[in-house]
Amino acid sequence: MKIKFHGHAFVEVDTGKHKILLDPFITGNPNCDVTLEDVKCDFIIPTHGHGDNFGDTVELAKRNDATVIGIYEIATYCSAQGLKAHPMNIGGGFNFPFGRVKLTMAQHSSSFPDGSYAGDAYGVILTIDGKNFYQAGDTGLFYDMKLIGEMYKIDAAFLPIGDDFTMGVDDAVKAVEFVKPAVVVPIHYDTFDIIKSDANDFKRKVESIGKKCVIMKPGDVLEI
Ligand code: NI
């Protein structure tokens, strides 16, 4: 699969047949390299209800007739707006036409921008053509990440390093020890002043424990 980074936590997964968006935050994202008009998708997976993750999910789902995959509360919210939605919950997996989605726990809050309840926040493991991609969502460090590393061979992990709202650099390095991905990409940093973080420091520390780190710029593609 090809994983294209669009700034903050927004990634576009292209399987060659389907496009899946995770955390499509375009409107208000100063680092986003695409517009609402540019983006084409078949499925959208927001990791929680916050504006910088749920983002433009509703508008993009409408424009593309895409299906929103999310925790029960997010799927219900989207269905109520006339969108196609598939409900899941943490620990559950489902085989979609493009591959398998499993929701993992994340240590984070979740509500929609209007303050209404959006269920729990979660991470996502996508299994497509035998490869496993873990997008941790917004989260603090938690010890059960070790289980993810034990039960999956993670080919790429996208982990937040911005601190303040999520893991900072040192906690994210510990997360790499737990998850043991073939490659880690830092996300959710530098978008706003409050989450300024040093990705090069993260990369150095990841490499010091013998793991690979790639710092992606908006528009960059990682193929696994
Ligand atoms: Ni959040």
CA of 31 to the centre of ligand 1 (A): 17
Mean pLDDT of 203-210: 98
**Other Cβ atoms within 10 Å of 204 Cβ, number:** 13
Regarding beta strands 156-160 and 131-135, do their DSSP bridges make them parallel or antiparallel, or are they unpaired? parallel
> pLDDT tens for residues 102-151?
999 999 999 999 899 999 999 999 999 999 999 999 999 999 999 999 99
> pLDDT tens for residues 179-198?
999 999 999 999 999 999 99
Task: Note the pLDDT of residue 134.
Answer: 98
CA of 154 to the centre of ligand 1 (A): 23
> pLDDT tens for residues 149-162?
999 999 999 999 99
Q: Which of 30, 47, 48, 27 is nearest to 38 (CA)?
A: 27
Helix (H) or strand (E) holding 128: strand 122-128
- The 3-class secondary structure across 41-108, one letter per residue, is CCEEECCCCCCCCCCCHHHHHHHHCCEEEEEHHHHHHHHHCCCEEEEECCCCEEEECCEEEEEEECCC
CA of 67 to the centre of ligand 1 (A): 22
Task: Note the pLDDT of residue 176.
Answer: 98
Ligand 1 (ion): residues with CB under 5 Å are: 50, 138
CA of 108 to the centre of ligand 1 (A): 7
Q: Which of 58, 132, 66, 144 is nearest to 99 (CA)?
A: 132
CA of 53 to the centre of ligand 1 (A): 7
**Other Cβ atoms within 10 Å of 7 Cβ, number:** 21
> pLDDT tens for residues 45-104?
999 999 999 999 999 999 999 999 999 999 999 999 999 999 999 999 999 999 999 999
Calculate the CA 25 to chain-centre distance: 11
CA of 172 to the centre of ligand 1 (A): 16
Q: Which of 148, 139, 178, 154 is nearest to 53 (CA)?
A: 139
d(CA 57, CA 35): 13
CA of 138 to the centre of ligand 1 (A): 5
